[in-house]
Amino acid sequence: MAKIKWSLVFGAVATLLFAGLLAVRLGVFEEEVRPVADTKTATVRLPETWMNIYQNRKKIGVIHREFRQLTSGRFQTAEKVTLALNTMGIPQVLHVATETELNPDLSFSSFTFELTSSLFRFSARGFRSKDRLIIFSGLPSAQQKTVLPFRENLYVSGNIYESAFRSAPQTHTSLKFNLFDPSTLGIRSVSVTREADEVIPIMGKRVLTQKYCAEFLGARNCAWLDKTGEILKETGLLGLSMEKVSPAAAAEGLAAGSSVDFTKIASIPSNREIADPGALTELKLKIGGINGVFLLLSGGRQQRDQNVLTITREILPDEEPAAALPPAVALFLKPSALAQSDAADIKKQAGKIVRATDGRKVRLEKIVSWVYRNLEKKPVLSVPNALEVLNLKAGDCNEHAVLTAALLRAAGVPAQIETGLVYQNGRFYYHAWNLAYIGRWVTADAVMNQIPADVTHIRLARGEGGQELSLLGVLGKIHLEVLSFKHD
């Protein structure tokens, strides 16, 4: 098989960006709520609305929302999103369907969520139960139960602006919301500030609006609401925006050439060409544009001195003697909602790849090699889970990383997922790879069949529970300058 390095694919960030920038509400994971009437103005809102999604004014998708108010004062909503995207020159269409039941303050009490792309499907459903959030996620036939203890109210991304509006804050007043993302099961705090009112053109009319802006992990998004609290327009990262339109305008096709390649848009140019990244023993670079965003830049093979990063290639340890794992390391043998290492099919496949007599180093080598050889290198848009990847045997770096993590854990090798940037053909692209424990932690990339991963892999985040959301704060802002590199 040709070594087509789909490391250029957006990786873990692809799901976050392409599925609507999740927590900063660019429209895909939102569960928009519109009451039948605003109690202050008695203005009746339409029972359904449409919005077009744009990238630099080119239409790339559409959103259709419905709502109804229950007699209890609660709300039910339904939303369908269609989004046309491009990853590495391959056009794809993403469909997202969401239904929610919301409390009077617009915090959610239950939700269902389904994302479908060219190959993969992901679903999640959950509900609040006193001080817990109970979630079932993954394939419908093999859903993983997750319980998150949380006492405060939780909001989904589409409702924070409306909730802020209902609180009637004064101009320049900020409110805090706890935001839940169903794809990563992450909970983060977001600040929403009421800005000065603005008059904007919508559907051929000029409308006086209240403007609200959300600050989330260094990313800034803004929304304009009319006097009833209906969102008319939003803007966000990388030229993405949404705007209310008529049903006829929503039904119109996409603009010519509108299938934008976000992989390229979000990539970062390199000031120096690196002819053979795999031969490097050290990379030193300057990093900027990350102010106020927490990133995991230092630790292990990667060290930070102010704004200078030095990444040193690891030396693999000799095969370690059989010994009990440290408790802090053994935690990474546990299954997760997307890396289902305890599933029968995952354990069966791991048993076919490794032998009981193999040490952890050999198990790592065999599993990385198997994933590299058996997964078709193909960009996809979805929330990857190991069971579905094992079944379909295709995907980009995100799918490679989650399946590798599940197989390693099933084989007794602690494993994690790292996300960040990697160099390819003059640019740094968002990417995902693994970290495995074989006497000490070492990097591994099943897309490139590398153990350890080459030093152009720049770690920004680590984890599966929403930690990668930190990358949202640096999309379109981060910049790199290669200072020096060393070869063998």
- Angle at CA of residue 29, ends 69 and 117, nearest 5°: 125
Query: What is the pLDDT, as a whole number, of residue 467?
Result: 60
Query: What is the pLDDT, as a whole number, of residue 239?
Result: 79
- Residues present in the chain in total: 488
Quick check: pTM over 0.85?
no
* The CATH fold of domain 267-487: C8orf32 fold (3.10.620)
Mean pLDDT, range 394-413, rounded to an integer: 94
Mean pLDDT, range 275-299, rounded to an integer: 90
Query: What is the pLDDT, as a whole number, of residue 88?
Result: 64
Query: What is the pLDDT, as a whole number, of residue 141?
Result: 65
Residues forming beta bridges with residue 93, ordered by sequence position: 84
Rounded CA-CA distance 143/253 in Å is 36
Q: What's the token pair of residue 257? A: 């050439």
pLDDT bracket for residue 284 (50, 70, 90): very high
Rounded CA-CA distance 298/284 in Å is 13
Q: Are 468 and 183 in contact (CB under 8 A)?
A: no
Query: What is the pLDDT, as a whole number, of residue 139?
Result: 66
Q: Are 157 and 22 in contact (CB under 8 A)?
A: yes
Query: What is the pLDDT, as a whole number, of residue 15?
Result: 34
Query: What is the pLDDT, as a whole number, of residue 124?
Result: 85
Across the chain, mean pLDDT equals 82
Q: Which of 4-8, 15-19, 348-352 has the lowest mean pLDDT?
A: 4-8
Q: What's the token pair of residue 320? A: 């370690």
Chain segment 174-219, per-residue pLDDT in tens:
999 988 877 667 777 889 999 999 999 999 999 999 999 987 766 7
Chain center to CA of 122 = 13
Mean pLDDT, range 322-334, rounded to an integer: 89
Mean pLDDT, range 459-487, rounded to an integer: 81
Q: Any idea where the domains of the chain sit in the sequence? A: 20-262, 267-487
Give every CB contact of residue 437 below 8 A, 6+ residues apart in sequence. Answer: 325, 329, 332, 360, 413, 414, 415
Chain segment 129-181, per-residue pLDDT in tens:
888 999 888 766 667 788 888 888 888 776 788 889 989 999 999 999 988 87
Residues 88, 89, 90, 96, Cα dihedral to 10°:
70
